[in-house]
Structure 1
Amino acid sequence: MGKMKDMIFVTKILVVILLHFVISTGASTSSINTKRPLKNHSSVSVLYPPVQLHKYDDHVVVDNGIFSITIASPEGIVTRINYNGIDNILNDRNENSDRGYWDVNWSDPSDLKDGHLDKLTGKHLDVIVNNENQVELSFKRPWTFAQEKNQVSLNIDKRFVVLRGLSGFYSYGIFERLRGWPDVDIYQGRIVFKLQEKLFRYMAVSDERQRLMPTFEDREKGKPLDFPEAVLLTHPSNSRLQGEVDDKYQYSTENKDNRVHGWICSDPPVGFWMITPSNEFRNGGPVKQDLTSHAGPVALSMFFSTHYAGPDLGMKFRDGEPWKKVFGPVFIYLNSVTTEESPLSLWDDAKEEMLVQTNSWPYHFPNSSDYPRAYQRGLVTGQLVVRDVGLAFANSAFVGLAPPGALGSWQEESKGYQFWTQTDEKGYFEIKNVRPGYYHLYAWVPGYIGEYMYQSIIYVLKGSKIRMGLLVHKPPRNGPTVWEIGVPDRTAAEFYVPPPNPTLMNQLYASQRTDSFRQYGLWDRYTDLYPDKDLVYTVGVNNYQTDWFFAHVNRHVGNKTYVSTTWTVLFDLEDVITGNYTIQLALASATNAEVQIRINGVGDASLVFTTKLIGKDNAIARHGIHGLYWLYSITVVHSHLRAGKNALYLKQTRGSYPFSGVMYDYIRLERPSRY
């Protein structure tokens, strides 16, 4: 059975490659006798019918014999998807403009009013390709200085592509600003599909994160919690959801893992999936977190946002800066099985299709000169080693190309493209399919603080192969380790995550250790555990996995009032060496926080460091185990320390807000080097 599944999977990849070849060369599928079985007729092989485009006064319909898609014209909004006997997969109770659409959130920096939501409605339709193998449609909206004030200053080109024989369609967009255009801030861009809620009730984000979901009406009848996204379900239509918390941020995923998610309808057994074959156009790097699917039912393809990072990740255009970027293509996949088969098998098939699409990237079919083909892209290879206490291979390191900047600048980068991979056990890496352009090479290695940046700018040319050779990462270190707390992996996952309040649970995470941080209200569990006195951690006695709370938050003292907290680290020194000690402080998250460090005292004389006010990633409230990464190398004069017992105090001073706080990644005390 295993070999048979492997053969089927390889066959699917070859068929997709063959179809892309046919489309790119203009050959006919019938002339080469291409066959691929329908999902719901797996025992029958048939030649697929040609793709057909039907144009009407206010909409177009594209039909490839497997499904049909209706798009409002010239607006470029998907209003209907007909598939496997379902007349419309999308929620036809909504207005046409609220079913399947692109949108962006933006603001005018000179206007103090709230931001705007622009659904990027097109002004005219261009038929880019129309033949029996492919239909590609372009819905354009040019911007002029006379444009309406509620429309973002971008030229918009939204594309939809339907191919012969494929059960789904592609969408990509080209956003452009010309030189001299007005200042603007753009915070979020995405594709949204709102499905029939009576049909699609089961959501799947990963193997472990899938469940029956509440409806929009269930949320409307529920009890709002500390922020609008979180609702306690008090009168759900399905009694099994009674008393649970629903919050769309509980289903967020890191970019590197956000490849396929979607919904399952059990009658008829049909799946609707968002497949993202590449992260090159997403913002914030591989561990940037973003939304996936959530109650509604809603399926999202998030291209860029400020989630888990804050407004610094938004795109700020000033002084007439020109810009252009291609987002996508992403694949909207439809699948089905017979009524005798389990609907849950649709998830396994969606994962296979995700691998097929990923292995087909970059695609051959997009008809835009702004989307480079495989032969137009470059390759960058090398080997990374770490020189810390000794020399070691950089195993499982993240290595990436991003627009030139400073150390860590890729975390707050949205305007350009990024290309990331992970090294093998000997530190070798290969970054494929890189768009031509200028980049810095960045890397960080789990188990070590800091990050690596190759100092020279790398210019990737069309079809180039760049061999970087041996690269050496020297993590920040000023002396031998005295003690350490945590694991330097840019998350707080190794620390103690408490069980949730039993009246505020999402049952999906009740038995999951790795995702337990996604439960609602964990910030108030600190108060339950430390109602009067704050956390005290003794080096060599306590265990950070059980005794170090995952987030340094404020204490709730009643009446929605919170106060700041001070954590204490107790440690012994046999002697004190003359010279400077160093505290390596790595933060995995910060939200409206300030961490002050004092040693052996609580007054100003003992203050050795303050972060000042930092962070807006909101990871504590949004159930993330990390946000942006911060690293501080803090000098401690030896006179602050003494032989014997010492105390290090970590005070988070911003105490009035429940979500103000930090997550520690790793803390290390280094003594002066004797050499």
Structure 2
Amino acid sequence: MRASSMLIALLGAVPVFSIDLPTGSDAPFHKIVNDKTCIIGNSVWDATLSGSYARPIYYNGKDIVDDATGFYLSYVNNNGFPWLAPEIVDAGNDWIDVQFTNDIARFHWVIHRGFAGAYQYWSNQRDFHSGHTYRKDGKLPTWDLYYSGTEVQDSTVQFSDGTYVSKYDWATHINIPEAKLWGVYGDDVGCWFIQPSQEYLNGDQLKQELTVHMEAQTGDTALLNMIGGEPWLWYLNDGSLSDAESRTEKEISAWPYAFPNADISAEYQSRAGSVTGRIITSDSRAGDTLSVFLGDNNDDEFTLNQYAGYHYRTTTDSKGYFTFDNVRTGEYGLFAWPGEGSSLGDITTNFTHFDIAITKKDKIDLGTYTWEVQNRTKIWQIGTLDRLPCEFAGGCGPYGHALTDDAPADLTYTIGSSKAEYWHYVLSNNGAWAINFKLNNEPVVGASARLTVSLAAYAARCYMDIMANGVVIGHIRSMASDSALYRSSTVAGVWRFLEYTIKPGTPKKCSNSIKFTTTTTEKWKGAMWDTILLEWE
């Protein structure tokens, strides 16, 4: 804690109503300096909050912010959250809940006696030289490194040897079991966000966000938390990743918190201990390795972007069974699609069920759901329809800027002999990609075929013509762009599902070809593949 000599001219906290506060020299505290500044903390740490920033922040007597911008919050239109109207709104023998209020929201710090950190509900610092996410751990680029290269994109520079550094290389998924901890750390200090539950985070299993990076404009090390609701833990330590991981497991085991607060509804603790169910297909296949999402009810928003309610994510076992734990009561929608490696990656229909009622019980069994499939005859398929490019060359690898440069302009793939890894994960350069295949028999008279083109991401502008045996069957023109490709992702962005009918008489016995010919592309943009599937109607 800062020396008491540095806490001069401070006024006592003035709660709005009478609250019995913790006592003792090690009690957590909130002290008013003036009408614009206050100090909060305990015997381990304290932070001075003024304007929209918290700085300095002392941990065991050392200022961990130094000359960086400081701890801050940012919300709609990049407005900073001002630390206004501070007050202690709740307290116990060993904790206080300090609330800040403006015309947009309230933000709480729950500070416990002697605890290195604070629980927050409703980011940022410096001289942390390393970052950690579940995908990536290591040294962050330094400010002088950014300025030794040529800026080619926001927060992205190229060096004389042709390599790049981008803050987007540190983007990561936030809604999968591995993504429960991220932070920045140095030789003797660590600053972490711990997510004991992901129920209040937006989106499905494929949601990605930027969590840690070095700010190219200021040189600050940034730690980001894209908040959506209930408590998480901001945790400070001596820079030990193993300690942060150990603390994470303790927080997960304590979830849902018996959380003292003045701002969370009573329904927070109204839960079903477990919710189970099973998915099978209408052609009698078990729903093996399906991604299952319990999300917003009667909502036409893509699961990737759902934000209104609470969200739960899991994967089915080999027999199609799934389980969600500690589900808050309410009405939900149930969604599923093939996960990575699923044997059901040839299903093109949607699985969606609304009005799933979750009540307060130890266990809820939703029973068995039947997923109606498209009932067509498969001719061939490249990859699987799992919204991911992991089977293809470069797909689902380490994030990195300009990896689209490695994509071939021309590619020929032969059904029956080429392997999925020969197909590249992204089409990004002008040229032609051909899929050659043979039909052993004459097509049935009057039979049409259906070509499914599923994209894991798309960044405009990428225009292409799609032809079957030289006949144009469709086009891909400028769809709404997502940022996955030019922001370093090799995994996924916004999923796109396209279908094209091939008229009777076009497919022939013996040699046939499907060709994707690009007519317009832009550097570092393009189409990230999920699957290409050809079926008889």
* TM-score of the two chains, using structure 2 as the length reference: 0.85
Aligned to 1:493: 390
2:487 is paired with a residue whose SS is: coil
- What aligned pairs does 1:200-599 form with structure 2 within 5 A after superposition? 200-206=128-134, 209-225=136-152, 227-232=153-158, 245-255=164-174, 256=176, 257-266=178-187, 269-295=188-214, 296-303=219-226, 327-336=229-238, 346-372=240-266, 375-378=269-272, 381-387=275-281, 390-395=284-289, 397-406=291-300, 409-446=302-339, 447=342, 448=345, 449-450=347-348, 452-461=350-359, 466-475=364-373, 477-497=374-394, 515-516=397-398, 518-526=399-407, 529-530=408-409, 534-545=410-421, 547-554=422-429, 564-575=430-441, 576-578=443-445, 579-592=447-460, 593-599=462-468
**CA deviation after TM superposition for structure 1 residue 654, in Å:** 3.6
1:276/1:261 CA distance change after superposition, 3 Å: same
Aligned to 1:77: 53
Three-state SS of the structure 1 residue aligned to 2:231 is strand
SS of corresponding position for 1:217: helix
Q: Verify: 1:101 aligned to 2:72, yes or no.
A: yes
Match of 1:138 in 2: 99
* Conserved 8 A contact 1:271-1:335: yes
* 3-state SS of 1:631 partner: strand
CA pair 464-120 structure 1, distance change in 2 beyond 3 A: farther
For 2:329 and 2:250, how far apart are their aligned partners in 1?
25
Aligned-pair distance for 1:627? 0.7
Please tell me the residue identity of whatever aligns with 2:467.
R
- Name the CA shift for 1:425/1:360 in 2 (closer, same or farther; >3 Å): farther
Deviates more, 1:590-599 or 1:245-254: 590-599
Q: Residue deviations 1:22-45, cap 9 Å, x none?
A: xxxx99999xxxxxxxxxxxxxxx
Residue 599 of structure 1 and its aligned partner are, at CA, apart by: 0.5
Provide closer, same or farther for how the CA distance between residues 334 and 122 of structure 1 changes in structure 2, counting only shifts above 3 A: closer
CA contact (8 A) 1:443 1:451 kept: no
The 8 Å contact of residues 286 and 318 in structure 2, kept in 1 or not, is answered as no
Q: 8 Å contact 1:400–1:441 — kept in the other structure?
A: yes
CA distance in 1, matches of 2:246, 2:350: 35
Return structure 1 stretches of 4+ with deviation > 6 angstroms. Answer: 26-30
Distance in 2 (alpha carbons) for counterparts of 1:371 and 1:300: 28
| Residues 253, 371 of structure 1: alpha-carbon distance in 2 compared, 3 angstrom cutoff | farther
Q: What is the aligned partner in structure 2 of residue 64 from structure 1?
A: 42
- Post-superposition offset of 1:552: 0.9
Q: 1:130 to 1:456 in 2, by over 3 A?
A: closer
Deviation at 1:630, TM superposition (A): 2.0
Structure 1 contact 478–582 (Cα < 8 Å) conserved: no
- Structure 1: distance between partners of 2:114 and 2:499: 57
Q: Which runs of 5+ in 2 are unaligned?
A: 1-18
Letter in 1 for 2:130: Y
Matched, 1:662 2:527: yes
Deviation at 1:374, TM superposition (A): 5.3
Q: Which 5+ residue runs of structure 1 have no aligned equivalent? A: 1-25, 31-46, 107-116, 143-154, 174-191, 235-241, 305-325, 337-342, 498-512, 555-563
**Residue 533 of structure 2 corresponds to residue 636 of structure 1:** no
Question: Equivalents in 1 of 2:515, 2:313: separation in Å?
Answer: 38
Instruction: Decide whether the 8 Å contact of 1:490 with 1:626 is kept in 2.
Output: yes
User: Cα–Cα, structure 1 residues 393 and 71, in superposed 2: closer, same or farther, change >3 Å?
Assistant: same
Is the 2:331–2:356 contact (alpha carbons within 8 Å) kept by the matching residues of 1?
A: yes
- CA contact 2:389–2:396 (8 Å) conserved in 1: no
Pair 370,264 (structure 1): closer, same or farther in 2 beyond 3 Å: closer
| Aligned partner of residue 81 in structure 1, secondary structure | strand
Q: In the alignment, is the contact (CA less than 8 A) between 2:98 and 2:109 conserved in 1?
A: yes
- Secondary structure of residue in 2 paired with 1:348: helix
Residue 376 of structure 1 aligns with an amino acid whose one-letter code is S
Name the SS of the counterpart of 2:242 in structure 1: helix
RMSD: 3.0
C-alpha distance in 2 between matches for 1:608 and 1:349? 58
Q: How many aligned positions are there?
A: 503
SS at match of 1:492: coil
Q: Does 1:127 align with 2:88?
A: yes
Pick from 94, 110, 115 the counterpart of residue 161 of structure 1: 110
Alpha-carbon shift at residue 668 of structure 1 (Å)? 1.5
Deviation at 1:371, TM superposition (A): 4.4
Q: Match for 1:617: what amino acid? A: D
Q: Deviations over 1:465-501 (max 9, x none)?
A: 54311112234x332221111133211122112xxxx
The corresponding residue for 2:12 is: none
Question: Retained in 2: the 8 A contact 1:69–1:81?
Answer: yes
Structure 1's 99 and 568: CA in aligned 2 closer, same or farther, altered over 3 A? Answer: same
SS in structure 1 at match of 2:259: coil
Shift of the alpha carbon at 1:666? 1.0
